[in-house]
Chain A
Amino acid sequence: MSESINADRGLTYPGNLGCPGCGASIAINHALKGLGEKTVLVIPACCFAIMAGPYPMTALKVPILHTAFATAAVSAAGVRAGLDMQGDTETTVVAWAGDGGTFDIGIQSLSGTAERNDDIIFVCYDNEAYMNTGVQRSSATPYGTRTTTTPGAGWKRTRKKNIMEIMAAHRIPYAATANIAFPDDFIRKFAKAREMRGGTRFIHVFSSCPTGWGVASSLAIKIARLATRSNIFPLYEIENGTDWTLNLEGDLPVGDYLGAQGRFRHLTPEDLEQIQQEVDADLALIQERVAATRVRKAHLKPET
């Protein structure tokens, strides 16, 4: 290989054990661009625990602490406390968990950490099921999905848990959604979270899983983009739990997104219509909050 070739791979090594087209791989590449090298990752059980390297390998050029499924947030808070003891105020501590380690198994420690407003960034890279163990449903699995535990006619008939509202209810300084298909927005949010030191920041990352979703690996970004363009995964930010900003408004029907994936292939036009209504209602709710935020801020402005 000639000297002039730029083999800059950022803060990751190639050779991780993720599936071809893995959204979490793309997510970590984007995230580390916003976080920089002064970062410690705390990773509970999840796909990324494998991808980050089976011992004694590592796929990242930043330190990683592997921890138990339920304890990503508190372990991160502990690392933070340790760094504080050492006088290191520069390093950012990031918990990097899947949807299982966030919505289900990790939620009590996450809630506790958020309530204590510990100085960490908690990232949920959400692929909407327990993918690492074979596609079992989680509380992040959306309505209508077939997984190995909601197979055939027993597809999931309950809604995806709204983790953003839960986190907003903790009134943490910053909560945001990000999507791997929108790298500029994604990196901006990670950089912003890094700079907002002193409290718990939460980033909900949409991370496609070609293997679990029944999508060609080449379409991982295309599908992720459709999730936001159909408003199924809107991009927004919540500051202090109350100030809402919508970053992008989608323009496509949900069918464009759902119809392209094996996990939703069984849905009838009536099902799609029902999902469309829910998505519209959810977006309207976000828009109401954005509008209310604007009104409130206008009132707060000192008179000139």
Chain B
Amino acid sequence: MIASLRPTLLFPVSRTSTEANRTGSWRFVRPVYRFKTAPCSAACPAGIDIPTVEMLASRGQIHDAWAHICRENPFPAVCGRVCFHPCEDACNRAELDAPIAINALERYIGDAGLAACSPLVSPAAALLQREVAIVGAGPAGLAAGYFLTQLGISAEIFESTEEPGGVLRWGIPSYRLPKAVLAAEIDRIAAAGVKIHCNRPVNPDTLAEMAARYDAVLVGAGLAAPLRLNISGEASIIDGLAFLKQVQAGSAPVASGEVAVIGGGNTAIDVARTLLRQGARPTIVYRRRRQDMPAFGHEIAAAEAEGVRIVELMAPVSAAADGNGVRMTLQPMRAAEVGADGRVRAVPAKQPPQEMRFKAVFSGIGAGVAEPWHRPADEADAIRLSHCAICRGTPTVGYIGDPVTAENSVAHAIGSGKQAAIALHALFTEGPEAVAPAVDRCRVGPGPALSMEIYLNGERSRRNGRVVTFADVNTDYFLRAERCAIPALAPAAAANGFEEAVATLKPRDALAEAARCFNCGICNDCDNCRIFCPEQTILVGEGGRRSVDLDYCKGCGICTVECPRCAMDMEEESA
């Protein structure tokens, strides 16, 4: 064979990479990271970023979770005990198995914050040379003071009684909220720079003096006047709110025997459960049906479990005291049509009135404003917002808390204080026209809950307002898992004293419960987008922030579908 024709053993070897192929040019849709709003956080009157809190908690970063709650609510240990947790009703996980025990987790995190004596973070905004006086150290006033301080505005609270806390202190019995927990969270607010002056009642004259000295005054006097039943013999009926106050002060006479509590709201439940703990046998008498009671469902259930009787569809007609107790005349009622307020009305049934005898009768039908100046005058030139009203003029007087919120709860009061703080900050820095847009901008989803983090242009301000639904969640990644059991005293034992009826979760249970959270709408670093990207185009930046290398992304959309929590969207490429 001719030597030059002899085959030589040479292999062609590829020496360049496919990186030269900019396959991103194939793409007609692109994935984008678009964090959205979790339904729980939109339902939270205090606007807490719940999916992030649960994410941090599930990783054992309890202090971070606590600090994250405190951005929106300085009362996690209090709210973890007394909040009516509308977040849990909104939780997407309910459609898979059961909602996350958000309230119990908030308590766990709040208690951890107390145990660690963690201070609240210092003001997040630049200091303004502005001073605001607040009337009333209830939840709305304390929250307003805290959030004003966060916004660089100095706040002073004037409280008429000898201790701060308002309804949290004198209205909520200690078996639901121990005084030490309340005091510790209030002390922390004071330590954050809010001046609280006790035994400083305010009247219209002193209010005018204050208004002259401060840049604004916020009135958060709460609802302190009991509503009247307007029946004959009312003088023989004991005011339930006053009774609760006396119990807190240790000065209430001990009730015993068969007693009645008139009403269907949380006050009635608190009075009845307190009477039970004093050794009495309470019956709640309510004029509508059981399911129409405005009290929180879990409170009603707890009261019944402890032995409180509920008599529905009975309206008090008259009361008469004799030497042995009180004789109540009650009219049987029946459910009628839905009234203008959307609730089923109760009207007298065709039955004669009945008499019932009790050792004592308490009213617990709620309360109204004690003084006309505790709420804005109807004719006032006011910026009326969802949770507060700011009356313009010299001076600026704002109204916060129960007298101006549509719903009365601790969480709403906190939301009210926050809204007023944001409104005043916008007013001071940008003028009255800026108030409504500023409040609007920091809505959580459709609102009305507001976020301080959004107002301060934090991470959350970049989130999309769309609320994640269950259909948006990729449930391939979630196995059914039981909701944690919330430790509680046996009802019979709970009814025996004023010890807390419900306990705090154990660390292991808390972490497992937090891990059940879908973390709707946010990135929790699960890395699915990166694991499944056929082109390996997902890049991880600082703090785990992910981005797409659009040079190579072909726009297949797998990342968006496999994101379990709807933190990504596909968007058509623009020409």
Q: Which residues of A contact B (CB under 8 A)?
A: 1-2, 4-10, 12-23, 25-26, 29, 53, 55-59, 64, 180, 183, 210, 216-222, 225
Q: Contact: A55 with B14, CB < 8 Å?
A: yes
Q: Contact: B557 with A21, CB < 8 Å?
A: yes
For residue A220, which residues in chain B have a CB less than 8 angstroms away from its CB? Answer: 534, 556, 558
Q: Does B23 contact A (CB under 8 A)?
A: yes
Contact of B18 among A6, A57, A183 (CB under 8 A): A57
Q: Contact: B17 with A13, CB < 8 Å?
A: yes
Given known A20-B26, A53-B14, A222-B476, contact A14–B535 (CB-CB < 8 A):
yes
Q: Contact: B557 with A14, CB < 8 Å?
A: no
Interchain residue pairs with CB less than 8 A apart (20)? A5-B542, A8-B540, A10-B536, A15-B18, A15-B552, A16-B18, A16-B23, A16-B535, A17-B23, A20-B557, A22-B534, A26-B532, A53-B14, A53-B17, A57-B21, A59-B18, A64-B14, A183-B531, A218-B561, A220-B556
Given known A10-B536, A20-B555, A217-B556, contact A57–B541 (CB-CB < 8 A):
no
Q: Contact: A7 with B14, CB < 8 Å?
A: no
- The 3 tightest CB contacts between A and B, nearest first, are A218-B557, A25-B534, A21-B556
Q: Does B12 contact A (CB under 8 A)?
A: yes
- For chain B, the bracket of interface size reads 35 or more
Measured between alpha carbons, how far is A56 from B18 in the docked complex, in Å?
9
Q: Contact: B554 with A13, CB < 8 Å?
A: no
Q: Does B384 contact A (CB under 8 A)?
A: no
Measured between alpha carbons, how far is A13 from B13 in the docked complex, in Å?
17
For residue A18, which residues in chain B have a CB less than 8 angstroms away from its CB? Answer: 534
Chain B 1-27: CB-based contact to A (< 8 A → 1; otherwise 0): 000000000001111111111110011
For residue B561, which residues in chain A have a CB less than 8 angstroms away from its CB? Answer: 218-219, 221-222
For residue B19, which residues in chain A have a CB less than 8 angstroms away from its CB? Answer: 13-15
For residue A25, which residues in chain B have a CB less than 8 angstroms away from its CB? Answer: 534-535
Which of B15, B26, B476, B536 is packed against the most chain A CB atoms within 10 Å? B536
For residue A53, which residues in chain B have a CB less than 8 angstroms away from its CB? Answer: 14, 17-18
Contact of A6 among B12, B535, B540 (CB under 8 A): B540
Chain B 528-539: CB-based contact to A (< 8 A → 1; otherwise 0): 000110111101
Which of A16, A29, A216 is packed against the most chain B CB atoms within 10 Å? A16
Q: Which residues of B contact A (CB under 8 A)?
A: 12-23, 26-27, 476, 531-532, 534-537, 539-542, 547, 549, 551-552, 554-558, 560-562, 570
Q: Contact: A14 with B537, CB < 8 Å?
A: yes
Q: Contact: B18 with A14, CB < 8 Å?
A: yes
A70 to chain B, nearest CB (A): 20
Measured between alpha carbons, how far is A268 from B23 in the docked complex, in Å?
39
B528 to chain A, nearest CB (A): 9
A147 to chain B, nearest CB (A): 22
Give the A-B pair count, Cβ closer than 8 A. 121
Given known A5-B539, A9-B536, A29-B534, contact A14–B16 (CB-CB < 8 A):
no
Q: Contact: A56 with B558, CB < 8 Å?
A: no
Contact of B476 among A29, A57, A225 (CB under 8 A): A225
B115 to chain A, nearest CB (A): 35
Q: Contact: A5 with B540, CB < 8 Å?
A: yes
Closest partner residue, chain B, to A29 (CB atom):
B536
For residue B540, which residues in chain A have a CB less than 8 angstroms away from its CB? Answer: 5-6, 8
Closest partner residue, chain A, to B22 (CB atom):
A15
Measured between alpha carbons, how far is A56 from B17 in the docked complex, in Å?
8
Q: Contact: B12 with A56, CB < 8 Å?
A: yes
Q: Contact: B549 with A7, CB < 8 Å?
A: yes
Q: Contact: A7 with B539, CB < 8 Å?
A: yes
Closest partner residue, chain A, to B11 (CB atom):
A65
A228 to chain B, nearest CB (A): 11
For residue A9, which residues in chain B have a CB less than 8 angstroms away from its CB? Answer: 536
Measured between alpha carbons, how far is A210 from B562 in the docked complex, in Å?
15
Closest partner residue, chain A, to B541 (CB atom):
A5
Q: Contact: B23 with A15, CB < 8 Å?
A: yes
Q: Contact: B557 with A4, CB < 8 Å?
A: no
Closest partner residue, chain B, to A184 (CB atom):
B531
Contact of B17 among A21, A58, A183, A219 (CB under 8 A): A58
Q: Contact: B534 with A56, CB < 8 Å?
A: no
Measured between alpha carbons, how far is A221 from B474 in the docked complex, in Å?
12
For residue B557, which residues in chain A have a CB less than 8 angstroms away from its CB? Answer: 20-21, 216-218
Measured between alpha carbons, how far is A217 from B558 in the docked complex, in Å?
7
Contact of A14 among B14, B531, B536, B542 (CB under 8 A): B536
For residue A19, which residues in chain B have a CB less than 8 angstroms away from its CB? Answer: 554
Measured between alpha carbons, how far is A221 from B562 in the docked complex, in Å?
8
For residue A8, which residues in chain B have a CB less than 8 angstroms away from its CB? Answer: 540
Known: A20-B555, A21-B556. 5 other contacts (CB 8 A): A7-B549, A15-B23, A16-B23, A58-B18, A59-B17
Q: Contact: B12 with A5, CB < 8 Å?
A: no
For residue B547, which residues in chain A have a CB less than 8 angstroms away from its CB? Answer: 5
Q: Contact: B534 with A2, CB < 8 Å?
A: no
Measured between alpha carbons, how far is A12 from B534 in the docked complex, in Å?
10
For residue B531, which residues in chain A have a CB less than 8 angstroms away from its CB? Answer: 183
B499 to chain A, nearest CB (A): 46
Q: Contact: A218 with B14, CB < 8 Å?
A: no
Which of B27, B534, B535, B554 is packed against the most chain A CB atoms within 10 Å? B534
Measured between alpha carbons, how far is A210 from B560 in the docked complex, in Å?
16
Measured between alpha carbons, how far is A23 from B22 in the docked complex, in Å?
20
Contact of A15 among B20, B556, B562 (CB under 8 A): B20
Given known A4-B541, A6-B539, A18-B534, contact A218–B18 (CB-CB < 8 A):
no
Given known A10-B536, A56-B12, A57-B16, contact A21–B558 (CB-CB < 8 A):
yes
B550 to chain A, nearest CB (A): 11
For residue A17, which residues in chain B have a CB less than 8 angstroms away from its CB? Answer: 18, 21, 23
For residue A219, which residues in chain B have a CB less than 8 angstroms away from its CB? Answer: 561
For residue A183, which residues in chain B have a CB less than 8 angstroms away from its CB? Answer: 531-532
For residue B532, which residues in chain A have a CB less than 8 angstroms away from its CB? Answer: 26, 180, 183, 221
For residue B560, which residues in chain A have a CB less than 8 angstroms away from its CB? Answer: 218
Q: Contact: B14 with A58, CB < 8 Å?
A: yes
Q: Contact: B18 with A13, CB < 8 Å?
A: yes
Measured between alpha carbons, how far is A52 from B26 in the docked complex, in Å?
18
Measured between alpha carbons, how far is A6 from B22 in the docked complex, in Å?
20
Closest partner residue, chain A, to B560 (CB atom):
A218
Measured between alpha carbons, how far is A18 from B21 in the docked complex, in Å?
11
Given known A16-B535, A221-B562, contact A2–B541 (CB-CB < 8 A):
yes
For residue B21, which residues in chain A have a CB less than 8 angstroms away from its CB? Answer: 15-17, 57
Measured between alpha carbons, how far is A56 from B15 in the docked complex, in Å?
6
Closest partner residue, chain A, to B476 (CB atom):
A225
For residue A64, which residues in chain B have a CB less than 8 angstroms away from its CB? Answer: 14
Measured between alpha carbons, how far is A7 from B547 in the docked complex, in Å?
10
A124 to chain B, nearest CB (A): 19
Given known A20-B26, A26-B532, contact A218–B539 (CB-CB < 8 A):
no
Closest partner residue, chain B, to A226 (CB atom):
B476
Q: Contact: A14 with B549, CB < 8 Å?
A: yes
Measured between alpha carbons, how far is A13 from B19 in the docked complex, in Å?
6
A30 to chain B, nearest CB (A): 8
B39 to chain A, nearest CB (A): 24
Which of A5, A180, A183, A219 is packed against the most chain B CB atoms within 10 Å? A5
